[in-house]
Structures are given as C-alpha cells and as structure tokens.
Amino acid sequence: MKVVNKPIDVIAVFYSSGDMKPIRFRINNKAVPVDRILKQYDERIAGNIRKCFVCINNEVLVYEIKYEISTGRWVLFKI
C-alpha cells in the first residue's frame, strides 16, 4: 500500500450510539463506493483522536481512510 495522505469528501452514516460507517468517498472527481469495512480502529497522534477504516472496493482495491474527530476532516491515508 502506498501512503497518500490526501483530504477527501466522504458520505458517511453517523449513528446515535457514536459509531460511524463510511458509505463512499470521492477522489480525483471519481466516486468510490465502500463495499466492506475490513478493519476499524482508533488512533491517537499528538493528542488528536482519529477513527481509521480499512475498506475494500470490488473485492480488489483496499483503501485506508481516517476521520479526525477534532476537525471533522476525512483523509485518504493509503491506497
């Protein structure tokens, strides 16, 4: 996997329990649906908490996207 670390637009569902689930995201003006979430974990870097999702598309392409809670920004971290 290659580290990209690029801001992206994401459509996600936020549940009242505090959980979230990304549905699809846009990169290079192309919508990429999230077919399945392989792994979900929390990360703390320099006091910033991030929710990390390892997602798969078309059973071939694996992406890692991160949501920074304090700023509300999504980042495509790895392709």
Question: Average pLDDT, stretch 19-47?
Answer: 94
Tally of domains within the chain: 1
For residues 64-74, give the mean pLDDT.
Answer: 95
Predicted local distance difference test score (pLDDT) of residue 16: 95
Domain that holds residue 65: 3-78
**In the block, residue with structure tokens 């908490």:** 49
Quote the pLDDT of residue 1. 81
3-state secondary structure string, the chain?
A: CCEEEEEEEEEEEECCCCCEEEEEEEECCEEEECCEEEEEEEEEECCEEEEEEEEEECCCEEEEEEEECCCCEEEEEEC
Q: What is the mean pLDDT of residues 50-65?
A: 94
In the DSSP assignment, the letter for residue 18 is S
Tracing tokens 């009242």 back to the chain, one arrives at: 16
Segment 2-15 shows an average pLDDT of 95
Which tokens go with 8?
Answer: 């992206």
Per-residue pLDDT, averaged over 5-30, amounts to 94
Instruction: Answer yes or no: is pLDDT of 33 > 90.
Output: yes
